[in-house]
Amino acid sequence: SVPRLDVVTIFPDYLAPLDLSLLGKARTGGLVDLRVHDLRAQTTDRHRTVDDAPFGGGAGMVMRPDVWERAIAATAVDGDASPDERELVVLVPTPSGRPLTQAFAQELADELAAPDVRAVIACGRYEGIDARLVPALRERADVRRVVEFSLGDFVLNGGEVAALALLEAVVRLLPGVLGNPDSVVEESFTHEAVLEYPVYTRPADWDGHEVPPVLLSGDHARVARWRREQSLRRTVERRPELVARLDGLDELDVVTLA
């Protein structure tokens, strides 16, 4: 079966970019099954209400847990003759979640490659979703795990952009999606938390801005050493907190630290 990820949102149109570029090709090529659902389809009242005032008072509105639980369960019967019985990984974007990292994206891509697992992303809006939803989902027999994840320490208006970011990071790691799987292997964060080296293309001399000569040398070993050094140097300069997590710290001797 094809890896499947569903998105539930009150703004399905926000997910229109899923038809473009690499994600669009992966979808039409049958490498991934991405579906978008309107949360309001699971409301039962005339006004299609998904939110209500917070208990305890305060600003803003909170999304109702009952509507959300129905919407997540309903993804199993979306247009299919028989319900999809795969176990669910429910992904909930929230600033209080686990930071989205390459390791997490890889973990999900591996998980979704299994035939008995699919994922649902629950995009919150307003002040977020009633806090009872996540523990209640964890008790459901059809739920394998629930992961709350964050794009970073800032506040978005809704989970849709976080869903798109997660899908971009995960889908490109699924089998067959990238034409050249080596491009994944060489990227930032893939093996370890190191940033990628700088990259260059033609023209070699662009209005007096020259490409580092080593890259034109044809000496593959020298190029590889230079790139490794650039990666380490960048990491030390731009993300010193990542260096603490590096194995083989002696390699950093290569980099002349300021």
Q: Where on the chain is the footprint of ligand SAM (CB under 6 A)? A: 93-96, 123-125, 127-128, 150-152, 154-159, 162
In angstroms, the first-to-last Cα distance of the chain is 52
In the bound complex, what is the minimum distance in angstroms from residue 215's beta carbon to ligand SAM? 37
CB of 255 to ligand SAM, least distance (A): 32
The answer to whether the bond into 83 is cis (omega within 30° of 0) is no
Q: Give the residue carrying structure tokens 């891509």.
A: 109
CA angle 16, 18, 23 (to 5 degrees): 160
Q: Alpha-carbon distance 102 to 132, whole Å?
A: 29
CA–CA dist 58, 113 (Å, integer):
43
E strand or H helix that includes residue 144: strand 143-150
Least gap, CB of 35 to ligand SAM (angstroms): 19
- Least separation in angstroms between CB 130 and ligand SAM: 11
Task: Rank residues 43 and 94 by Cβ distance to ligand SAM and give the closer one.
Answer: 94
- For residue 92, the minimal CB distance to ligand SAM (Å) is 7
* Nearest residue to ligand SAM, by Cβ distance, number only: 124
Strand partners, 145: 89
| DSSP track, 186-202 | HSTTSSSS-PPPP---S
Nearest CB to ligand SAM, comparing residues 3 and 124: 124
Cβ proximity to ligand SAM, 98 vs 145, nearer residue: 98
Q: With beta carbons less than 8 A apart as the criterion, state whether 9 and 38 touch.
A: yes
Q: How far apart are the C-alpha atoms of 187 and 79, rounded to whole Å?
A: 38
**Closest approach of Cβ 253 to ligand SAM, in Å?**
37
Residue 125 vs 144, nearer CB to ligand SAM: 125
30 or 55: CB nearest ligand SAM = 55
Q: CA nearest 128: which of 100, 96, 99?
A: 96
Q: How far is the CB of 161 from ligand SAM (least distance, A)?
A: 8
Q: Which is nearer to ligand SAM, 32 or 151 (CB)?
A: 151
Distance of CA 190 to the CA centre of its chain: 14
Note whether 119 and 112 are within 8 A (CB): yes
Nearest CB to ligand SAM, comparing residues 32 and 123: 123
